[in-house]
């Protein structure tokens, strides 16, 4: 086997996209990008990078023929706007992207809990809420729009930190406190919270778009037991392959942070389930060699200024980032031995610290913060 130097590959991650910009509780963290902004991103990228699908990148990395200045584009969560808004834009640009779908949501009308939470906060008649958490009280005020938005950030941070066992009762309790007897009674946020159906997935796959797994039920893998993770990996893979009649070879972690959402152990489970690679959402930078298995993309959306978007994709910035964070660098090619253990420990500590305090108003979640943190 010939050896080659690891190559820098940029990973970009989007969620939904909206015809016009959407703000506030309808688009917390600005995660849904407007059509105009997405077009601008793709135009800029096309002029500077070879845009390949993840499958093509892995192939070429294995053969040692990866071109310089390569990037991939991923969309998470299977929002229907992937079909209605992003797909036509990608087709027009002549680009292919990877779409990661939580299969239980496809064609089922199921909603993501974060969208239910945001809709509840937008529509609640309550003006304030004091939630008791252990010996502390979380005080939330809904008198202003910004108060409601802060509550959305705070409650996300809190609920995402719970174990699977504690999550469901705590979520139902929160929705109850906001004024609904059942999550199904909470009004819908809008058209952009709907997911695709299988017909739309097949049409996109037929047109060259790639589909990968984002678990079945959009579960945070690192907080599940082994059996559940194995099931999620297997069921979603099979459903996608049965529907599109093509291999589902890439797995993408919900929530996407490392090691809170996925880690070495869940990576191994993914490998055993037959995936060729796993995708996190930590930074835009991948250094890929022939053994590439773990990939990452940066979470982009309406929130990012164009100036920062361009900055994120600068090789110079990558060098600075790598130099500053070299002890916390889990992404280099082979990633073996003592270095990797040090990396895991370092990141673990960083994330545990983040989780150990309930977030301050206005703070961004890990995974949405890679650019803000170090600029």
Residue (124 or 296) nearer to Zn ion, CB: 296
Interface of this chain with Zn ion, residues 329 to 348, rule: CB under 5 A: none
Backbone dihedral angles phi then psi of residue 87, each to the nearest 5 degrees: -55, -50
CA 127 to mean position of chain CA atoms: 32
x/- mask, Zn ion, residues 33-72, rule CB under 5 A, reads ----------------------------------------
Residue 254 lies near Zn ion (rule: CB under 5 A): yes
Q: Which of 50, 54, 38 is nearest to 90 (CA)?
A: 38
Least Cβ distance, residue 236 to Zn ion (angstroms)? 12
Give the containing element (helix H, strand E) for 285.
strand 285-288
Q: Identify the bridge partners of residue 137 per DSSP, sorted by sequence position.
A: 132
Least Cβ distance, residue 60 to Zn ion (angstroms)? 27
How many chain residues touch Zn ion (CB under 5 A)? 3
Helices 113-123, 145-160: axis angle to 10 degrees equals: 150
Residue (112 or 142) nearer to Zn ion, CB: 112
Residue 302 lies near Zn ion (rule: CB under 5 A): no
Tokens of 12: 């970009």
Q: Measure the CA–CA gap between 321 and 375, rounded to whole angstroms.
A: 10
Applying CB under 5 A, among 77, 118, 260, 289 the residue interacting with Zn ion is 77
Contact region for Zn ion (CB under 5 A) — 73-81, 237-245, 269-277, 353-361?
73-81
Residue (77 or 267) nearer to Zn ion, CB: 77
Mapped onto helix, strand or coil, the DSSP state of residue 334 is coil
Least Cβ distance, residue 4 to Zn ion (angstroms)? 33
Q: Measure the CA–CA gap between 279 and 267, rounded to whole angstroms.
A: 10
Least Cβ distance, residue 77 to Zn ion (angstroms)? 4
CA 117 to mean position of chain CA atoms: 18
Which residue pairs, CB below 8 angstroms and at least 24 apart, start in 43-51? 43/93, 44/309, 44/310, 45/12, 45/71, 45/73, 45/313, 46/93, 46/95, 48/313, 49/10, 49/313, 51/95, 51/96
Which residue pairs, CB below 8 angstroms and at least 24 apart, start in 168-176? 171/113, 171/117, 174/117, 174/120, 174/131, 175/116, 175/117, 175/120
x/- mask, Zn ion, residues 116-135, rule CB under 5 A, reads --------------------
Contact region for Zn ion (CB under 5 A) — 31-39, 179-187, 201-209, 250-258?
250-258
Interface of this chain with Zn ion, residues 142 to 161, rule: CB under 5 A: none
Q: Measure the CA–CA gap between 210 and 244, rounded to whole angstroms.
A: 10
Residue (195 or 343) nearer to Zn ion, CB: 195
From the CA atom positions of the chain, what is the Rg in Å?
Answer: 20
Contact region for Zn ion (CB under 5 A) — 59-67, 165-173, 252-260, 346-354?
252-260
Least Cβ distance, residue 80 to Zn ion (angstroms)? 15
Least Cβ distance, residue 297 to Zn ion (angstroms)? 12
Least Cβ distance, residue 181 to Zn ion (angstroms)? 28
Residue 111 lies near Zn ion (rule: CB under 5 A): no
Q: Which residues bind Zn ion (CB under 5 A)?
A: 76-77, 254
């Amino acid at each position: 086997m010939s050896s080659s130097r690891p190559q820098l590959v940029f990973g970009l991650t989007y969620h939904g996209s909206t015809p016009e910009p959407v703000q506030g509780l309808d688009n917390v963290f600005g995660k849904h990008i407007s059509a105009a902004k997405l077009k601008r991103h793709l135009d800029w990228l096309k002029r500077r990078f070879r845009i390949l699908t993840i499958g093509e990148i892995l192939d070429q990395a294995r053969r040692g023929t990866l071109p310089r200045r390569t990037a991939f584009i991923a969309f998470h969560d299977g929002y229907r706007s992937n079909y209605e808004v992003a797909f036509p834009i990608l087709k027009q640009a002549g680009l292919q992207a990877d779409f990661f779908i939580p299969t239980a949501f496809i064609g089922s009308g199921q909603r993501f809990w974060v969208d239910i939470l945001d809709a509840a906060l937008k529509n609640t008649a309550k003006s304030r809420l004091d939630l008791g958490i252990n010996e502390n009280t979380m005080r939330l005020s809904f008198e202003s729009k910004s108060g409601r938005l802060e509550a959305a950030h705070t409650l996300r941070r809190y609920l995402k930190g719970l174990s699977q066992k504690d999550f469901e009762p705590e979520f139902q309790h929160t929705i109850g406190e906001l004024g609904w007897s059942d999550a199904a009674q909470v009004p819908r946020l809008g058209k952009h919270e709907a997911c695709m159906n299988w017909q739309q997935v097949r049409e996109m796959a037929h047109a060259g778009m790639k589909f990968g797994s984002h678990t079945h039920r959009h579960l945070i893998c690192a907080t599940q037991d082994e059996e559940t993770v194995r099931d999620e990996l297997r069921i979603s893979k099979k459903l996608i392959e049965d529907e599109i009649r093509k291999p589902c070879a890439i797995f993408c972690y919900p929530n996407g942070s490392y090691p809170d959402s996925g880690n070495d152990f869940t990576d191994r489970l993914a490998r055993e389930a037959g995936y060729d690679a796993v995708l996190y959402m930590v930074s835009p930078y991948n250094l890929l060699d022939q053994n590439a298995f773990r990939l990452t993309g940066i979470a982009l959306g309406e929130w990012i200024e164009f100036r920062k978007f361009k900055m994120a994709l600068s090789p110079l910035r990558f060098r600075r980032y790598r130099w500053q964070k070299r002890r916390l660098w889990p992404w280099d090619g082979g990633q073996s031995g003592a270095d990797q253990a040090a990396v895991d420990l370092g990141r673990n500590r960083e994330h545990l610290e983040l989780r150990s305090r309930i977030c301050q108003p206005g703070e961004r979640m890990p995974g949405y913060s890679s650019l803000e943190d170090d600029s």
